[in-house]
């Protein structure tokens, strides 16, 4: 079965389907999470974006990763596999139930020992973890994106990455929508491109992925 996690419709449907069909099959745990996400409408990044995220983490040899907005831990698993057995990924989410479900998946995937599970507001929780990060992945509520950027940017090492999902927000950022989430993403996009400490670009994959390199 072809599992699709399309977002913005920025790529032709048939082309997007083709790129998803090319993806190698995932293991049982990750496949089950994808199925759960479809059945329960959990907004995970899906396998195409997850692969990009993991690729960037591997490219910079990331060992310390902080994640903002982890839900059932799908993106966390891809990051945890990238950091390897000596790495550390900080899972953060506001929901106790999400965290409990995620823990079960991490255990079954054999990577629980490299993940720290923190429950609460990701934007506050980052203060409770000392040190710099090689990579921070941001996927919190969209109106919080500017706050997430301001908090996360100083915590990334030079040469590290700040990656954010949904920065095209179904195209609403480019149109007249003015709800809090759309305004949040718009402000975020202005921030990342005007920042002197980040070299940023937006990949129009699925719902838009921002990749910011710390200078
Ligand atoms: C889009 S989902 C995350 C999906 C996950 N990154 C993945 O791809 O597998 C966003 C999650 O972050 C949580 N969330 C949103 N804002 C948050 C915040 N400020 N602090 C903690 N959790 C937050 C939501 O409740 C939800 O579980």
**Ligand 1 within 6 A of CB of 99:** no
Domain assignment present for 170 = yes
> Model confidence at 4, in pLDDT bands (50, 70, 90)?
low
Domain assignment present for 8 = no
Using the atom order of ligand 1, give the atom closest to the CA of residue 67. 6
**Ligand 1 centre distance from Cα of residue 214 (Å):** 23
**Ligand 1 centre distance from Cα of residue 137 (Å):** 11
Burial class (CB within 10 angstroms; exposed 0-12, middle 13-18, buried 19+) of 124: exposed
Mean pLDDT of 6-24: 88
Edge-to-edge order in the sheet of strand 156-165 = 115-119, 88-93, 64-68, 133-138, 156-165, 209-214, 198-203
**Ligand 1 centre distance from Cα of residue 174 (Å):** 23
Distance CA 176, CA 167 (A): 16
CATH number at residue 132: 3.40.50.150
Q: How many CB atoms lie within 10 A of CB 174?
A: 12
Cβ–Cβ under 8 Å, residues 118 and 83:
no
**Ligand 1 centre distance from Cα of residue 142 (Å):** 10
Domain assignment present for 2 = no
Using the atom order of ligand 1, give the atom closest to the CA of residue 121. 20
> Model confidence at 1, in pLDDT bands (50, 70, 90)?
very low
Structurally, the chain folds into a number of domains equal to: 1
**Ligand 1 within 6 A of CB of 74:** yes
Domain assignment present for 17 = yes
Given this model, what pLDDT does residue 5 score?
A: 72
Mapped onto helix, strand or coil, the DSSP state of residue 106 is: helix
Domain assignment present for 201 = yes
pLDDT in tens, 51-90: 999 999 999 999 999 999 999 999 999 999 999 999 999 9
Domain assignment present for 3 = no
**Ligand 1 within 6 A of CB of 166:** no
Which among 29, 42, 67, 70 is the best mutation to test ligand 1's pocket, defined by most ligand atoms within 8 Å of the CB? 70
Mean pLDDT of 113-140: 98
Cβ–Cβ under 8 Å, residues 98 and 171:
no
pLDDT in tens, 26-54: 999 999 999 999 999 999 999 999 999 99
Residue 196 has pLDDT above 70, yes or no: yes
Tell me how far CA of residue 12 lies from CA of 7, 19, 107, in angstroms. 12, 11, 38
**Ligand 1 centre distance from Cα of residue 173 (Å):** 20
Domain assignment present for 1 = no
pLDDT in tens, 166-192: 999 999 999 999 999 999 999 999 999
Domain assignment present for 164 = yes
Domain limits at 187? Answer: 13-214
């Amino acid at each position: 079965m072809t599992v699709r996690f399309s977002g913005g419709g920025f790529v032709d449907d048939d082309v997007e389907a083709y790129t998803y069909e090319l993806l190698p099959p995932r293991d049982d745990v990750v496949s089950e999470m994808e199925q759960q996400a479809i059945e329960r409408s959990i907004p995970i990044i899906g396998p195409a974006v997850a692969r990009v995220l993991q690729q960037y983490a591997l490219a910079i040899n990331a060992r310390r990763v902080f994640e903002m907005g982890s839900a059932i831990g799908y993106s966390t698993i891809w990051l945890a596999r990238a950091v390897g057995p000596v790495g550390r990924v900080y899972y953060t989410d506001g929901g106790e139930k999400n965290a409990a479900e995620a823990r079960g998946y991490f255990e079954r995937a054999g990577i629980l020992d490299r993940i720290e599970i923190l429950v609460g507001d990701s934007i506050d929780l980052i203060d409770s973890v000392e040190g710099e990060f090689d990579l921070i992945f941001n996927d919190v509520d969209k109106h919080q994106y500017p706050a997430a950027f301001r908090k996360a940017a100083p915590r990334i090492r030079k040469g590290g990455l700040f990656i954010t999902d949904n920065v095209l927000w179904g195209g609403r950022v480019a149109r007249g929508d003015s709800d809090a989430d759309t305004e949040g993403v718009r402000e975020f996009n202005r921030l990342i491109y005007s920042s002197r400490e980040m070299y940023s670009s937006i990949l129009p994959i699925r719902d838009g992925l921002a990749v910011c390199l710390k200078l």
